[in-house]
Structures are given as structure tokens and as C-alpha cells.
Amino acid sequence: MNHPAADRIIGLYQDKAADWIRDRGAALRQHEGDWDEVAWLDRFTADWPPGARVLDVGCGSGWPMGAALLERGFKVIGQDAAPDLIVHARATLPSGDWRIGDMREALPEGVFHGVLAWHSLFHLTPEAQTLLLPALAARVADGGRLMFTAGPAHGEAIGEWRGEPLYHGSLAPEVYNSLLIEAGLTVENSGDNGVWLARRAILSAK
């Protein structure tokens, strides 16, 4: 049975949007154990052309990941289910395309050079992740990449943030690996340091 905190995630981030914006900050994290976000973005965007399109699901306020992608010259569509976070993104990062929506219900149409679910997919239950990952992979264009963060083993964990339970879910590494391969992606980083990175091959011209 899923923990009630799993159903509270969207409401938690909406109710405490201002707190999240302050706590997350505007700067990418570097050299903090496993989370060198500059290095991971470098790997995620390697060899992309100028103006490459990125889908950032669970984008929060747009800071700092979406902002960093925009600064690199990419076109960003960000989606988050907490309306107040999207309001902040629209006000502070007007060059991005920021949309209110639950990734489990619908995703923007089209394909993208990059699909990012940084610190967002792992707030969904294992069952929801199993259904969503193929849909995220289907948005990855030829030569593009999917990157997301996940736990080390199948299960659920309840942390704490701002006095409330904070839900995290994870699949087993072998399940993530199988889902990505079945979706036609090649795994470039298989959960090392909590990060999954996978790429769709460029189809050769006939």
C-alpha cells in the first residue's frame, strides 16, 4: 500500500512553494558528494546543436536546472504540477515555456533532444514510474538523452522537509535498465551516484 505522503507530494510543493524556491536556490550544486549538477548537465547536453529542445518534467520553479539549460542556449519546456512554482518560473525565466501539468496524466507532444526528470521522478510510486518511463523515453529524439535521478533499490522511503513527510519511490536498478532498453535507449550511466542517463541512437540514413 502506498504511503499517504505519495498523494501529498503535489500539495506539499504547492503549499510550500515559496519555501522550496528559497531552499533550492538559484545556483547549480557542484562538488557536493554525488550531486555535481554542472557535470551531469555537461554529460546530458554533450554534442547537442544550438537551440536543442529540452523537456523538463517536474521542473519546479525552473531554478536552477531549467535556468542553466536556457543559459546554454537551449529551448526549454518545463512542466510541473504545482501552479505557484510555474508562476515563479514564468515570471523569472520568461524565455522558457512553463506549463502546469501532472507528468502522470499528460506530457507535451513531440520529441526532444533531452528529457529531464531531475529530483522529480523519484517522488512517484514505483508503479507510477513503471508506467511513466516508457512515455518519457518516447519523447527522446534520435541522438537525444533521457536523464533522471532514482534510488538504489526497489521500495519506498519517507523523509522529512519543512515539518512534513516527503515521499520517495524507486524501482530496482535492473528494472530501470530493462525499461530503458525496451524503449530503445542505450544506457550510458546505470544509476551510479543515483543518476540514470540513456541515449537514443542516431538512425543511419538509408
Residue 3 pLDDT: 78
Task: Let me know if residue 72 belongs to a domain.
Answer: yes
Task: Let me know if residue 205 belongs to a domain.
Answer: no
Instruction: Note down the domain range covering 113.
Output: 4-200
| pLDDT grade for 33, boundaries at 50, 70 and 90 | low
Task: Let me know if residue 140 belongs to a domain.
Answer: yes
Hey, what's the cell of 51? Answer: 537551440
Query: H-type helices in 54-157, by residue range?
Result: 65-71, 83-92, 126-138
- pLDDT tops 90 at residue 34: no
Query: H-type helices in the chain, by residue range?
Result: 4-15, 17-24, 37-45, 65-71, 83-92, 126-138, 173-182
Domain harbouring 194, CATH code: 3.40.50.150
Task: Let me know if residue 206 belongs to a domain.
Answer: no
Q: How far apart are CA 1 and CA 15, in angstroms?
A: 25
Percent of the chain with pLDDT over 90: 91
State the total domains in the chain: 1
| pLDDT tens per residue across span 47-68 | 999 999 999 999 999 999 999 9
Cis previous bond, 64, omega within 30: yes
Nearest to 12 by CA among 170, 158, 136, 195: 158
| pLDDT tens per residue across span 18-31 | 999 999 999 999 86
Task: Let me know if residue 117 belongs to a domain.
Answer: yes
Task: Let me know if residue 119 belongs to a domain.
Answer: yes
- Please provide residue 98's backbone torsions phi and psi, each rounded to the nearest 5 degrees: -110, 125
For residue 61, give Cα distances in angstroms to 14, 101, 131: 11, 13, 25
Q: How far apart are CA 13 and CA 204, in angstroms?
A: 43
- pLDDT tops 60 at residue 204: no
Task: Let me know if residue 44 belongs to a domain.
Answer: yes
Task: Let me know if residue 51 belongs to a domain.
Answer: yes
More confident residue, 78 or 3: 78
| pLDDT tens per residue across span 155-196 | 999 999 999 999 999 999 999 999 999 999 999 999 988 999
